[in-house]
Structure 1
């Protein structure tokens, strides 16, 4: 397979990954999160990550076997010599977009987890407090110090 065809294949997989990451962002921003949908997206992302890792490993191996330096300078030189530098640069840009989307989604997940943890802590604290006194009457203080009487 030519380098141009290989890069096109990687770019196609990256486009699929960006689409999944955008869908994940939309799902995370929704008022009500659909856990099953997020699990399906995560499985799709993992499959694409695995495939992209394999394709990148193949590309690096071919780059090394052809005598190009390792890393970005060697990859760019190989793409230039193969006449597909534009494809290489487009693929790198798309990979950076996927990286940023993935990082943003991670921040959204962290924010949701922190919110959920605060809610659970509040509920746990509220459940631990006696709502009624020994006389069976509601205590004057409501949950978290909020008065329960008008």
Structure 2
């Protein structure tokens, strides 16, 4: 497989990953999260990340065997010599977009976890106090749940 073909396959997988991350972001932004959908997206993401990692290792090995220096400078020179520098630059831009989306989705997940933890803490506190008095009427408690809001 030529470097151009190799980079084209990597670019295609990065685009698939961008699509998955966009779907994940939309799912995380919903009021009601679909856990099964997120689990499927996570499995698909893991598969693509594994494939991309394998392809990147292969690319680096071939780059080294052909005498190009290790790292970005060598990769860029190899792409230039193979007449596929624009594809290399597009791949780098896609990889950067994947990193940005992945970081943003991580923040959305973190926010969801914090919200859920606050709700659980509130429910634990509320469960520890009676909401109704012996007469069946709601109790007046400061800072707690009141049905007379």
Q: Which TM-score band (shorter chain)?
A: over 0.9
Mapped partners of 1:33, 1:106: distance in 2 = 15
Instruction: Give 1:102's aligned residue.
Output: 102
TM superposition shift of 1:48: 0.2
- 1:74-126, CA deviations, whole angstroms, 9 ceiling, x for partnerless residues? 10011011111111000000111111011111111111111011000100111
With over 3 angstroms needed to count, the CA separation of the structure-2 counterparts of 1:115 and 1:68, relative to structure 1, is: same
Contact 1:140 1:148 in 2 (8 A): no
Which blocks of at least 5 consecutive residues in structure 2 are unaligned? none
Task: Output the CA distance in 2 between the equivalents of 1:60 and 1:29.
Answer: 37
Aligned equivalent of 2:46: 46
Q: How many residues are matched?
A: 149
Give the conservation status (yes or no) of the 8 Å contact 1:21–1:102: yes
Residue number in structure 2 paired with 1:12: 12
- Residue aligning to 1:118: 118
Aligned residues of 1:131 and 1:138 also touching (Cα < 8 A): yes
Deviating 4+ runs (over 2 angstroms): 130-140, 144-150
Q: Which has the larger displacement, 129-138 or 4-13? A: 129-138
> Normalization by structure 1: what TM-score?
0.91
Instruction: Please say which of residues 108-117 and 131-140 is displaced more in the overlay.
Output: 131-140
Compared with structure 1, are the counterparts of its residues 149 and 99 closer, same or farther at alpha carbon in structure 2 (3 Å cutoff)? closer
Instruction: State the 1:130 CA deviation.
Output: 3.0
Structure 1 residues 136 and 118: CA distance shift in structure 2, 3 A: same
CA contact (8 A) 1:24 1:105 kept: yes
- CA deviations over 1:45-91 (Å, ceiling 9, x no partner): 00000000000000011111111111111100110111111110000
Alpha-carbon RMSD across the aligned residues, in angstroms, is 1.8
Aligned twin of 1:91: 91
Matching residue of 2:144: 145
